[in-house]
Amino acid sequence: MPTKPKIGIVGKGAIGSLLSFKCATLKLNYQLLLRTKQDFCFQVQDITGQQHKITPAVSDIHHPKSFDVLILPVKAYQVMPILLQMKPFIQSHHVLVLLHNGMGTIEQVRAMFPNNSLVAATTSYGAFKPSDQRITETGLGETHFGWIKKPNTSLQNSITPILSSLLPPSTWHKDITLALWKKLAINGVVNPLTAIHNIKNGQLSDIGYQKDIAEICAEIAQVMSKAGYPVTTLELINNVLNVINATANNYSSMHQDIAFMRKTEIEYINGYVLKMATKLKIKTPTNHFLVEQIRRLETKKDA
């Protein structure tokens, strides 16, 4: 394993593009893996408003250069199709990093790649792509990591600081599941409500949405607690309100997906809540309603 591990980043979505910018800035050995190899420049506006221009190192996802770490900052439902496509190039010593909204992919990835080291991560960084080759960093956040399956110590010591440096400040957890649940609870409120009501995040602070927010959080807190991650409804509500205030002028990813007639991650967010609730024999009518509403909006776009 080299001193600086070779990093593969899948896709040029907002976070993938931001990660490629961070890798270029840190002079890391990286490649952006795309469906077709193409040379292009990114115009990046960082959080201070400063402009940067980078030409990312790009490889064809069907013929990648060698890598040690594969980061998947993609939609939850894209993870397995991408990994299936890349399976011929993924060796047992490669470290896979999942970085997306929602939950449910860890189990799927472990089943397909039982011998690979695996990291689950979640970030509150904000990035917006007004066009294909322009990125705006809209919010500095924090990133949480956890080893689902650890590699040997030397490999772990080599990779951990590299990942930590990408979207700091970074925190490593012995059990990342609690952090993933807390992020899911935020997404489980903000994403479907803004998509259904066609509003910016900040509008959820209006009094008319407080009952819905409380009911969603109460159901998720009940599921989390029974799953072994005790949390109060009030803590989840406060987390949600903090994000609503911090991202008041932003549109959520699910709002944008519905607005641009794309598939959403609802099955991995509120849908995951339903799956766990069924398993734990808990009723979650509000989350069920949200899933049905988003599915209806998705069906409408396909009509």
Q: How does DSSP assign 61-73, residue by residue?
A: TTSPPP-SEEEE-
Q: Which 8-state DSSP code applies to residue 88? A: G
Residue 130 has pLDDT above 70, yes or no: yes
Render pLDDT for 159-191 as a digit per residue (tens, 0 to 9): 999 999 999 999 999 999 999 999 999 999 999
Residues 45 and 292: their CA atoms lie apart, in Å, by 38
Render pLDDT for 264-299 as a digit per residue (tens, 0 to 9): 999 999 999 999 999 999 999 999 999 999 999 998
All structural domains of the chain? 7-174 (3.40.50.720), 178-302 (1.10.1040.10)
Residues 145 and 133: their CA atoms lie apart, in Å, by 28
Residue 2 has pLDDT above 60, yes or no: no
The model's confidence at residue 138, banded by pLDDT at 50, 70 and 90, is: confident
Residues 246 and 186: their CA atoms lie apart, in Å, by 12
Q: Which 8-state DSSP code applies to residue 96? A: E
Residue 301 has pLDDT above 70, yes or no: no
The model's confidence at residue 92, banded by pLDDT at 50, 70 and 90, is: very high
Q: Which 8-state DSSP code applies to residue 15? A: H
pTM as predicted: 0.95
As a whole-number percent, the residues of the chain with pLDDT over 70 amount to: 98
The model's confidence at residue 3, banded by pLDDT at 50, 70 and 90, is: low
Taking alpha carbons only, the member of 68, 59, 74, 185 closest to residue 121 is 74
Residue 1 has pLDDT above 50, yes or no: no
Residues 124 and 144: their CA atoms lie apart, in Å, by 9
Cβ pair 128, 136 in contact under 8 A: yes
pLDDT at 67 (0 to 100): 96
Render pLDDT for 97-106 as a digit per residue (tens, 0 to 9): 999 999 999 9
Render pLDDT for 192-246 as a digit per residue (tens, 0 to 9): 999 999 999 999 999 999 999 999 999 999 999 999 999 999 999 999 999 999 9
Residue 79 has pLDDT above 50, yes or no: yes
pLDDT at 9 (0 to 100): 98
pLDDT at 36 (0 to 100): 83
Q: What's the token pair of residue 229?
A: 């991650």
Q: How does DSSP assign 212-254, residue by residue?
A: HHHHHHHHHHHHHHHTT----HHHHHHHHHHHHHHTTTPPPHH
Residues 257 and 266: their CA atoms lie apart, in Å, by 11
